[in-house]
Structure 1
Amino acid sequence: MLHAAHILCLGSSMSAAGTQAAQLARRTGATLHVMPLPSGRAAGPTGSDPGSGAEAAVPAHVVETQPRSVTAVLQYVGDADIDLVVADTPLDRGPVPPLATDLTRALTRRLDRPVFIVERQDDPDAIQRLLVPTDLSVPALRAFRHAVALARLYDAAIDVLHVIESVPYVALTPTDRLSLGATTLSERRGRRRLRAFLQEGEAAGIQVQPHIMRGAAADQISRFANQGDVDLMVLSAHGSDAEEGPLGPVCTRVLGRVTRPLFLVRASGPSLLGPPDDAA
């Protein structure tokens, strides 16, 4: 189950981000913070009645002053002990990847807590299928646990994608010959590891569909996300760049290409998972 005490919406309470943030605040019992952005920066009405918007639906602390910089937003996140930041994609540019705008690029690279970047949709419950790319690492497991919690929250199914990097052969050893069969040795190993990785989702009663692909990880993840029936991608960021934030090379390339809604989970720092999940 997701646990959040404070959720920050960057944009109007009647925007897609405001609707989604209000829904999450209601379901987690969190206080909703609304920080209106300057005109033209990922904010706008969705046709909802002002009296029935996010501010009326949940307890909310509204920040009246406009942030003059991304630094001000980041400072507020720390000062208010925000657990989750929800932001819109720009209204006037169509679907764009998270690294295409100054605000979402700064949020994904510099924040040390989860970020939810949404699209312009009126119904938060439209999220029915989640995509979780995984390299089967410990940080990726943390992202998968968040995806399981989100799937329970939205009554959604999960597609888990593991990409096996293609490696050129320099010699045909007996092991190499095994790898040239219809099902390669690396793929069989990957499927065994993936089955073990998915046990938590199965225990939670979530519909989980595993996928194994070959090639460059960023290419395959981007292709699957943009072409498939994906409503939300849950991605793990676990790089080591101290200046730009812990994204990692594969995550950076994916965030520059994929135009789906994104839930970015950090390898370390604050988590939205409750004590039972953390203890696991």
Structure 2
Amino acid sequence: MLHAAHILCLGSSTSAAGTQAAQLARRTGATLHVMTLPSGRAAGPTGSEPGSGAEAAVPAHVVETQPRSVTAVLQYVGDADIDLVVADTPLDRGPVPPLATDLTRALTRRLDRPVFIVERQDDPDAIQRLLVPTDLSVPALRAFRHAVALARLYDAAIDVLHVIESVPYVALTPTDRLSLGATTLLERRGRRRLRAFLQEGEAAGVQVQPHIMRGAAADQISRFANQGDVDLMVLSAHGSDAEEGPLGLVGTRVLGRVTRPLFLVRASGPSLLGPPDDAA
């Protein structure tokens, strides 16, 4: 289950991000913070109730200043001990992927906590299918556990996608020759490790469907996300060195191509899953 004490919405309280953030705050019992950005409409006074209707009312703190820099947002996130940041896709971005914009790209590179980039949609409960691309690493498992919690929150199903990179090689050893069969050694290993993901989802009462594809990881993930009936992509950001950056080489490429809403989970830092995830 998701645990959050403070959720920050970047944008107006009447925007898609405001509606989604209010929904999450109500369901998790969190306090909602609204920080209006220069492109957003002015928000109401402190203590106003974002969203529409009585059911959307949540404890809220509206920041009336309009920060002009990512540094100001980062400062507020630290000072207010924010657990989750929810942001809108720009109204004028056209077909540009959500994280291809300067603000969201800068925030996701520098924030050490989950970020939810919301698409322009009226109904926050429209999220019915989640996609979790995975390289079967420990950070990816952390992202999957967040996806399970989100799936329970929205009563959604999860597609787990593992891509086997196609690389040229010369089969010289018995192990290499195993890769020439109809089902390769890498694919068998992938399916075996994916079963562990399915077991966690089943234990939580969530429907999980595994997928294994071949090719370039960024290409296959982007194609699956954009062509499939995916409402939200949950992605792990775990770059391994300075050259790749904090999002990783594949993650950076995917986020520059995918036009779906995104929930980005950091490999380390604050978790929305509480003590059980930290212990794991």
TM-score (norm 2): 0.92
Partner Cα separation in structure 2 for residue 122 and residue 78 of structure 1: 30
SS in 1 for 2:91: coil
Q: Deviations over 1:171-191 (max 9, x none)?
A: 344333332222112111111
Secondary structure of 1:234 counterpart: strand
1:106-165: CA deviation from partner (whole Å, max 9, x where unpaired): 111010000000011010000000000001100000000000000000000000000111
Q: What is the alpha-carbon distance in structure 2 between the residues aligned to residue 53 and residue 168 of structure 1?
A: 58
Q: 1:237 to 1:54 in 2, by over 3 A?
A: farther
Using the TM superposition, name which of 175-184 and 247-256 deviates more: 175-184
Change (3 A) 1:254 1:175: same
Moved more, 221-230 or 189-198: 189-198
The farther-off stretch of 162-171 and 3-12 is 162-171
Q: Per-residue deviation at 1:243?
A: 9.6
Bigger shift: 197-206 or 252-261? Answer: 197-206
Q: CA 1:5–1:264 in 2, change beyond 3 Å: closer, same or farther?
A: same
SS at 2:167 equivalent: coil
Structure 1 portions without partners, runs of 5+: none
Return the alpha-carbon distance in structure 2 between the equivalents of residues 46 and 157 of structure 1: 37
Could you give the per-residue CA deviations for residues 184-231 of structure 1, whole angstroms, max 9, x where no partner exists? Answer: 121111111111233211111100000001111111111111111100
- CA contact 1:117–1:263 (8 Å) conserved in 2: yes
C-alpha distance in 2, partners of 1:161/1:199?
Answer: 15
Change (3 A) 1:200 1:21: same
Cα pair 2:23 2:56 within 8 Å, conserved? no
How many residues are matched?
280
Rounded Cα–Cα distance in structure 2 between residues aligned with 1:132 and 1:238 = 14
Change (3 A) 1:24 1:40: closer
Of residues 64-73 and 240-249 in structure 1, the stretch that sits farther from structure 2 once superposed is 240-249
Distance 2:169 2:41 in 1: 50
The residue number in structure 1 matching 2:15 is 15
Percent of matched pairs sharing the same residue: 98
The equivalent of 1:212 in structure 2 is 212
Q: How far apart are the structure 2 equivalents of 1:51 and 1:213? A: 40
Cα shift at 1:274: 1.9
CA RMSD of aligned residues (A): 3.3
SS at 2:22 equivalent? helix
Residue pair 1:110, 1:244 contacting (<8 A) in 2 also? no
8 Å CA contact retained: 1:9, 1:18: yes
**2:200 match:** 200
Is the contact between residue 36 and residue 42 of structure 2 (CA under 8 Å) also seen in structure 1?
A: no
What CA distance in whole angstroms lies between the structure 2 residues aligned with 1:106 and 1:53?
Answer: 34
For residues 120 and 231 of structure 1, the distance between their equivalents in structure 2, rounded to whole angstroms, comes to: 12
**Which range is displaced more, 13-22 or 91-100?**
91-100
**Post-superposition CA distance 1:63-108 (Å, at most 9, x none):** 0111021110111111111000000001122343233211101111
CA contact (8 A) 2:49 2:57 kept: no
TM-score normalised per structure 1 = 0.92
Residue number in structure 2 paired with 1:256 = 256
Alpha carbons of structure 1 residues 46 and 91: separation in structure 2 relative to 1, 3 Å: farther
Specify every segment of 5 or more residues in structure 2 that has no aligned partner in the other structure, as ranges.
none
Q: CA deviation at 1:40?
A: 6.0
Deviation at 1:247, TM superposition (A): 1.0
Tell me: CA distance 1:215–1:201, structure 2 relative to 1, closer, same or farther (3 Å). Answer: same
CA contact (8 A) 1:44 1:91 kept: no
Cα distance change, pair 241–77 in 1 and its aligned pair in 2 (3 A) = farther
CA distance in 2, matches of 1:58, 1:49: 6
> Alpha carbons of 1:153 and 1:46: their partners in 2 closer, same or farther (altered >3 Å)?
farther
CA drift of 1:279 comes to 2.7
